[in-house]
Structure 1
Amino acid sequence: MFSRCESFRAFSLGKGAIYMVSAFSAANGVVLGQVKTAEKSNEITAIPELLKLLNLQGCLVTIDAMGCQKEIATQVLQKGADYLLSVKENQPALADAFEAAFPMAKVVNFEGDAYVTDEKNRGRQETRYHIVSEVNEEFQELSYEWPGLKTVGVVMSFRQEGDEVPEAPMIRYYISSAELSAKKLAEAARQHWFVENKLHWSLDVALREDACKIHRGHAAGNLARVRHIALNYLKGEARFKGGIRRKQKKTALDETYLADILAV
């Protein structure tokens, strides 16, 4: 499970973007809950409100760097779950510790638990190095500040498009309260970004969220919730082998199928 902030534009005079912080189950492909916030910067306050709504016992909760906060980590643990938080410059002490402990050469030639993946897709090749470590000397003092911290991890990605010059490597840092293997980190990090395909793409392409011009009152936020509910129903029906758009069309033409969708 993870939370992520998405935005869409309210098309009215004086209205900016509306942001919805959503919790998405990577295992089931459905939205578990959402909270509206006026600005993306308010994601820090919206995530705790969203976590209150959810039963997270036994889950691994992954959150973007905006949610890498001690209070949020504590709340996740109090809900009976483990956290996997992305680390960026908004937590400078953590970021500095990662840079000191894991220079690029050490990541590529790591002697501990490591897992490497190679993928080719439409002419693009991407190699990812995943490494995990217990809390070591560079993180010792920080471990007292971050509740339940057990694992630190690094993902380094090398990407090349066809015969072009390889892109500069991209490095992502993670902290977790779970005892993760490098393979488990790879799976969790990849599932976190599935939201782009499983949620945002479906909302934008199938349900045309970005093209919606309805904005009066609470309409934009309410419609966002309705879209998520509809998407959950459509994804939950597995007997008809078709995409979301085909399922939408079938529900419009076949009342029996519509009843089946609503009974999921």
Structure 2
Amino acid sequence: MPIGCSKAVTSPQQQTNSLPSINLLNTSFLEHFANLKNPRIERSKEHLLKDIRWIAILAVLSGADGWVAIEAYGNAKYEWLKSFLELPNGIPSHDRFSRVFARIEPQQFQECFLSWVNAIFGELELNVIAIDGKTMKQSYDRNDQQKALHIVTAWSSFHQLVLEQKKLAKNSTKLTGISE
């Protein structure tokens, strides 16, 4: 829990009872990602797409910042992941994660993911969303005369989770990004 947070500390039993079960999340996940097209050809489907997506999302939510870290997360949590994923050929390699996500249509993935997150947060009764705008350090390019990259982030402080992160258009302001 972050310093300065005024939420009362609850026991692990209370926390478990207040969160949706992994089976409910898995069912919801499958429903919201059902329309995401599998970009792979039949002979390269060694791992299930739902397993790859689940591991990647859980790893990133846990702080993984690259494909190698996602693979490491999967290997470290293998027994737990096996309790709700099929994993017919174990944990995919970092190269497999990279290749699959490189072929997935980003807009379609974003729509599925946001639909799933919105459904979860509806059940969790989210209270506070923090909005923050940042200018990315060293993103200004003098040679190409490109302006610095500006990002707006919506953050759930109660769940310690980024709900959405959006790059601002060239001529927009933070307020425009927040309203979007």
Instruction: Point out the structure with the larger strand share.
Output: 1
Larger radius of gyration: 1
Asked if these proteins are the same fold (TM beyond 0.5), I'd say no
- Report the TM-score, using the length of structure 1 for normalisation: 0.22
Q: With the length of structure 2 as denominator, give the TM-score of the two structures.
A: 0.29
